[in-house]
Amino acid sequence: MKYSVLIRDDDNSKKIAEYIKKNIKYSYDENNPEIVIAIGGDGTLLEAFHKYPNSIVFGLHTGHLGFFANYNPDDIDLLINDINNNTYKTEKIPLLSMLIEEWNGNVYYEDAINEATVLSPVKTLILDVKIDDEILEKFRGTGLCVSTTAGSTAYNKSLHGAVVDHDLVVMQLAEVAGINSNAYRSLGSPLLVSSKRRITLESDMPLELSVSIDNLSYSLKEFKRITFYYQNHFMNMGYHNLEGFIKRIARTFIDSGK
């Protein structure tokens, strides 16, 4: 068994990482680890997944929110014991797959834990929105966000999208500063779509825009379309005790810590 550690850039996270490295019995390997320990916040965990997509990821929360993390600084020895003695369990988190195509023939494939956004902050973005190849609308605005169930609490929530129960597997389409007037009209509210469907955002001419996928970013010169779908891709999250969905929501967004 091989493991690696990704660390948030702060003294506390670095100190915890050194302690963990001294006590994990397995060999350290940054190239092909089977286990990755992400010490920090959700951003560190996202980085860990995209760097090591086939590994089991353990999140140890030292950041601000830590929505995904299943361990906190009081659980360091528990985490070490779980890994050394194989007493952990794994949760499979469904990933949203996407195919990005450009008019010049470039093609990109990615998976997202949280969401992908298509943005054109400089000029109005005009895209055909299709559900299973059936046209829903011609969107005009700054951008669109397509999120996973897990990602419903991330950027989607800032766009006034719904927080989705983790027992459901859906895509959620939310507008970023959509234009609605007598001349232009879009749905104007978030749309929940079954995991059995596909969402396609398409331009009838080459566009210069940016696509962000979790913590990754693409600057595209000749964007043509992006298609979202589920295809049984998962992130494996390690845990000892899995925090319930309602408790996790309350801890992250409602409880004041009093």
pLDDT category of residue 65 using cuts at 50, 70 and 90: low
* CB-count burial class (<10 Å; 0-12, 13-18, 19+) for 35: buried
pTM for the model stands at 0.92
**Residue 237: strand, helix, or coil:** strand
Query: Where exactly does CATH 2.60.200.30 map onto the chain?
Result: 96-229
**CB contact at 8 A, 60 and 37:** yes
User: Which backbone phi and psi does 249 adopt, to 5 degrees?
Assistant: -65, -45
Distance CA 99, CA 26 (A): 37
Provide the percentage of residues in the chain whose pLDDT is more than 70. Answer: 98
Residue at token pair 């949203």: 96
For 129-142, the pLDDT digits (tens) are 999 999 999 999 99
What's the confidence (pLDDT) of residue 197? 98
Query: Where exactly does CATH 3.40.50.10330 map onto the chain?
Result: 2-93+234-254
Q: Which CATH code, of 3.90.1640.10, 2.40.70.10, 3.40.50.10330, 3.20.20.105, is assigned to 2-93+234-254?
A: 3.40.50.10330
For the ranges 41-50, 57-66, 221-230, the lowest mean pLDDT is seen at 57-66
* Active-site annotation holder among 29, 42, 82, 128: 42
The structure tokens listed for 56 are: 């089991």
Q: Indicate the CATH number for domain 96-229.
A: 2.60.200.30
Q: Average per-residue pLDDT in the chain?
A: 93
Whether 42 is a known active-site residue: answer yes
pLDDT at 147 over 60: yes
